Structure 1
């Protein structure tokens, strides 16, 4: 007796979850959309926050920047847990390979004197700036309204502590595996004159009650620090005998380009909102004027060191 195997296709009764179907119709959706749209609870809370009894646990009023529908903003990178973790694991593995290459050939300890000073006294101490930025991102993850925004803040918080760890690894590699350079970096963050304006700004930003304003204030610093210290010094490093620094800087330049994608998209969503767009634009202009000026003032001493280094390289 012969038997014939046949495939039987069972059509699903629905193509996606109800929360996605309510917005997009009953059609196949990406994992990102299924894990994002309308996931955050909006009703049936058991209690209000004891520190803010006029707010709900998830409340759009934790910031002056509002969206009529928070899911008008979607992460252009389409990150949910799996692709985010995979992407960042690969990035940190590549950074580890770079550090291993530099350690094996003892390239960091042989940097020219002025470049060694830049790494030890300016770049590595910025791990404390990244740590402060992480706390600001954590506040965004807690108080942002809408899963699509909260996800991006959460991933940014992990990124920031990852950046701090990479800077620490850079310091350890430069110091031949000892923690002396990290202690020097901490003392520089606490006491060095060229870092005190930035340290003060970070501490003030951490105390802001508006999570979005704090996030944009940190971004105002990023817009100056990352192009200045990483992408901006690439050519000078290659010409000044500090190719090892160029290899490290490329990793931070790549991360900053990725960070810009979701922040710029969120700013655009705030601006084009049909109900709050005008008010949001006014708030964004105020934040830009206030924290843009503060950021420029805080980064100015660092920029002076960089310009002097570029002059020496030239």
Structure 2
């Protein structure tokens, strides 16, 4: 008996989930779209929060920054769980490889004393800044509106604790395998007058009730800190025989470039929103302006401490970085005083 094998194509009744096809039509959708679009809970909440009885437990009114359609913003990286985890695994494996090289070659021991002190007293205390940044980002993920936005803040909160862990690992390597540098850094963050301006700024940002204002204040602070410590000082280190500092700094500046991809796109969406754009720009401009003033004052003693250790021109770089940051926000259309 002869048997004939044939391929039968069965067309699916629909090409994607209903919540995606309702918006885009019945077309094949990416996994990012299927796990992002129109998943924000918006009805049938069981209770109102006791601490905010005038609000629903999920509401766009937890921030003055709004989008008429939160899904007018989409993460340009198209991150959902799998590609995010893969990208961050690569980043941390690269950092581990760098630390392994530095340890095998004894390069932390070969650092000039001034740069060793800078890493200990200026860079390692930032692990506590990153811990605060994780909580601010997690709050934005909880109170934000629209899955395309809140998932970006969720991943950012994971990133910030990852950054704190990278700083911790660098500190342990600096201490020859001991955690003593981390204890010294914690004492500096809590007690050293150099850090109290920035610590106060961070703690006030932590208790800001408007998640949008808090996350923007954090981003403004990030722009200044990352430019100064992981770009400006990186350049200085290369010419000062402190290559190990540069090898560590590159991983943080690489992460920050990735952070800019989705955050700058969100600023543009806020500013361009047809319903809330004008009010958003007013709010963003005020937060950016106020935060730049506060950060300039908070970081002044830190940059003075840097210049006391190495010839880095850090105080002058702080002034220049503040203006560059202001111009960057103006280019995004969210700093009115510099908008052409």
Question: Which TM-score band applies after superposition, normalised by the shorter structure?
Answer: over 0.9
Indicate yes or no: 2:127 matched with 1:120.
no
Indicate yes or no: 2:267 matched with 1:267.
yes
Q: How far apart in 1 are the matches of 2:80 and 2:312?
A: 45
Runs of 4+ with >6 A deviation: none
Aligned equivalent of 2:100: 100
Aligned equivalent of 1:45: 45
Indicate yes or no: 2:4 matched with 1:4.
yes
Aligned equivalent of 1:220: 220
Q: How far apart in 2 are the matches of 1:154 and 1:76?
A: 16
Q: How far apart in 1 are the matches of 2:309 and 2:187?
A: 22
Q: How many angstroms does 1:299 deviate by?
A: 1.6
8 A Cα contact 1:66 1:280, kept in partner: yes
8 A Cα contact 2:115 2:310, kept in partner: no
142-151 or 287-296: bigger deviation: 287-296
Q: How far apart in 1 are the matches of 2:233 and 2:118?
A: 11
Higher relative contact order (CA 8 A, sep 6+): 1
Q: How far apart in 2 are the matches of 1:283 and 1:117?
A: 40
Q: How many angstroms does 1:54 deviate by?
A: 0.9
When the two structures are superposed, what TM-score results if normalisation uses the length of structure 1? 0.97
Indicate yes or no: 2:229 matched with 1:249.
no
8 A Cα contact 2:73 2:269, kept in partner: yes
161-170 or 190-199: bigger deviation: 190-199
- RMSD of aligned residue pairs (Cα, Å): 1.3
Q: How many angstroms does 1:291 deviate by?
A: 1.0
Structure 1 residues 59 and 312, CA gap change in structure 2 (3 angstroms): closer
Q: How far apart in 1 are the matches of 2:111 and 2:167?
A: 16
Aligned equivalent of 1:277: 277
262-271 or 119-128: bigger deviation: 262-271
Aligned equivalent of 1:231: 231
Aligned equivalent of 1:70: 70
8 A Cα contact 2:36 2:148, kept in partner: yes
8 A Cα contact 1:221 1:299, kept in partner: no
User: Could you list the runs of 5+ residues in structure 2 that have no partner in the other structure?
Assistant: 314-340
Q: Residues 93-242 of structure 1 correspond to what in structure 2 (within 5 A)?
A: 93-242=93-242
Q: How many angstroms does 1:160 deviate by?
A: 0.3
8 A Cα contact 2:175 2:181, kept in partner: yes
8 A Cα contact 1:20 1:34, kept in partner: yes
